[in-house]
Amino acid sequence: MPSPVGHVLFAFAISGVPKPREVFTRW
């Protein structure tokens, strides 16, 4: 299981500038 921080960074890499709600949804 990837760390929460890594998961967030992964979401940022995909969306570029994701919204806070999108980040929490990807958790």
> Please, are residues 20 and 1 in contact by the beta-carbon 8 Å criterion?
no
Q: Which alpha helices (DSSP H) does the chain contain, by range?
A: 4-15, 20-26
Q: Which domain holds residue 6?
A: 1-27
Number of H helices, E strands in the chain: 2, 0
Q: How is residue 12 written in tokens?
A: 């940022």
Looking at the structure of the chain, the number of domains it has is 1
pLDDT of res. 8: 76
pTM, rounded to two decimals:
0.33
Distance of CA 4 to the CA centre of its chain: 8
pLDDT of res. 25: 61
pLDDT tens digits for 1-27? 557 777 777 777 776 665 666 655 655
